[in-house]
Amino acid sequence: MGWDRGREAGEPSYEIHWPAAAFVLDERSVLSFCLADGNEDPTPDDDEEEVDESEAAWKKKPRQPIDLSVELVDAEGHGARLPLSSFSLLQPQLETPYFKAKLLHEKALSEPIFQTFLFPLARFQAANPEFQPAAATKLRLVFDRTESGVVLFDKAAFGAAP
C-alpha cells in the first residue's frame, strides 16, 4: 500500500471489516499484524516526465522509519487510534551490495523484512473509553504520521495476551 499525502487530498487509509460476532474479544485480547517497508516510490504511475524526477528525488532522500495510526472501530462506530510508534516504528529496508564488483550489479539490493506488531485492546479502550473491544468490527491503518511511503501488510489476527 502506497501513499503520498503531498499529492492527494484526504486521509489515506486501508480498512478491514468483519461481522460483529466473528471473534470473541475482550480488553485482554491482542491485535497482531505484520508490516514491512516496501522501499518503493509511492507514486510510480505519474506522468513519464514526473516519474523520472520524482523517483530520482525519492531515491536521494535518506530512508526514515515509517509511522502511521492503527485504528479499531466497534459496531456502534466508536473508534480508537494508537500510533504505530507506541509499539515500534516500522524500520526501513537495509540496502547492501550483493557482489563486490559494481560491474556485476550496480544497485544495492534489499528485501522486505516483516516486523510483528502487538496492540492490546485495552490500550485502544484507554485511548477512547467509549470503544468496546468485544464489539470491534473494523481495523484501519491510517497513513497520517509519515508523509509518504509504501508498506506491505500481512497476517492480521486477534489472540490472547501473552
pLDDT tens digits for range 40-96: 888 877 655 554 555 555 556 667 899 999 999 999 999 999 999 999 999 998 877
How much is the pTM?
0.84
Q: Higher confidence at residue 94 or residue 123?
A: 123
| For residues 137-141, average pLDDT | 97
pLDDT given for residue 73 in this prediction: 97
pLDDT given for residue 47 in this prediction: 58
Confidence of residue 122 (pLDDT cuts 50, 70, 90): very high
Q: How far apart are CA 42 and CA 4, in angstroms?
A: 6
For residue 113, what is the domain's CATH number?
Answer: 2.60.120
pLDDT given for residue 156 in this prediction: 95
Q: How far apart are CA 116 and CA 153, in angstroms?
A: 10
Q: Find out whether 84 and 67 touch, Cβ atoms under 8 Å.
A: yes
| For residues 106-112, average pLDDT | 78
Query: Residue 153 corresponds to which amino acid?
Result: F
Determine which of 26-40, 62-76, 101-115, 131-145 has the lowest per-residue pLDDT on average: 101-115
Domain extent at residue 152: 2-160
| Residue 100 pLDDT > 80 | no
Q: Where are the beta strands (DSSP E) in 5-135?
A: 13-17, 29-37, 69-74, 79-83, 115-120
Query: Residue 155 corresponds to which amino acid?
Result: K
Task: For residue 53, give the H/E element and its range.
Answer: helix 48-60
pLDDT given for residue 95 in this prediction: 77
- The total domain count for the chain is 1
pLDDT given for residue 88 in this prediction: 96
